[in-house]
Copies of this chain bind each other. A is one copy, B any other.
Amino acid sequence: MVLVNGLQTDWLNVHDRGLAYGDGVFRTLRVSRGRALCWQRHYQKLQTDCQALGLSCPSYSVLCQEIDQITAANPESVLKIIITRGAGPRGYRVTADVQSTRIIMVNSLPEYPPSYHEQGVSLRVCDLRLSLQPRLAGIKHLNRLENVMARQEWDDASIAEGLLLDSEGYVIGGTMTNLFMLKGNELWTPDLTRCGVAGVQRKRVLEQAAASSIPCPERNILLEHLLQADEIFLTNSVIGVWQVREIGQNRWNKGVFTPKVRQWLNEPCD
């Protein structure tokens, strides 16, 4: 089921700038018992991302109403919200009369092996290096070809996720996840001011770490530093948290920190 500007349809105006230029942003979140989890946080992030591109963000109440409509029929699902600049004439220039398009859709929950939660996951280090663009860093915009190309690097079902480094060799995260590493009493997470997407669950982990007085710097992390971690885990709003069990030849035992993070993320979240 899909709502485009409030109307149930599977069709989008072919002149939409979301298609032409990837001129828009999106959110992917979990629906459980008919509730869109962390929706207020996701809305905040949507607003921030829209603002960064100079897009007008639909109102909270309009989106709430449409999400209610769609989640009622799909109480266990993945919700995707796309906001584009809207349909407009050809050319990069944004005309004054363009009105943003909102697309709300649900998808079935992905069927990951239970072992991903229970034993952790294997990563491959992607060959593709992310480019550095401070103006777009952190934003979940529709220009995601780098992620698509990185994901094409493997077809081995035993590899759950690809690890992305930037063009200077710093670890940024997974193709669809944010990354944290435990190092002694500190939690480190990649600085995302030059590339990457700063997700809602990443922010929650940062906040919970702060509340628990665990230092959690956002910093440059080289692959060699990552491989020396005591524990590594990945987060996003669909999977929650996965511990990393394996990166190439490097292995980690089941840790005690990831379950704590899972508890954090399982807390009620508006």
Contacts and interface: CB of A to CB of B under 8 A. Distances in A.
A231 interface: no
Interface residues of A, number: 58
B15 A16 contact: no
A22 B14 CA distance: 13
A66 interface: no
B22 A152 contact: no
A141 interface: yes
Interface of A: 2, 4, 9-23, 26, 28, 53-54, 78, 80, 82, 84-85, 89-94, 103, 105, 107, 110, 128, 131-133, 135-136, 141-152, 167, 175-176, 195
A82 B21 CA distance: 11
Contacts of A151: 91-94
Contact of A147 (B2, B14, B21, B132): B21
Given A19-B142, A54-B152, A82-B19, A92 B131 contact: no
A176 B92 contact: yes
22 contacts: A10-B13, A12-B13, A12-B19, A16-B19, A19-B82, A19-B84, A20-B26, A21-B22, A22-B22, A23-B148, A53-B145, A78-B90, A80-B90, A91-B110, A92-B148, A92-B176, A94-B152, A132-B167, A135-B146, A135-B149, A142-B145, A143-B144
A174 to B, nearest CB: 10
A53 B149 contact: yes
A145 B143 contact: yes
Nearest to A144: B21
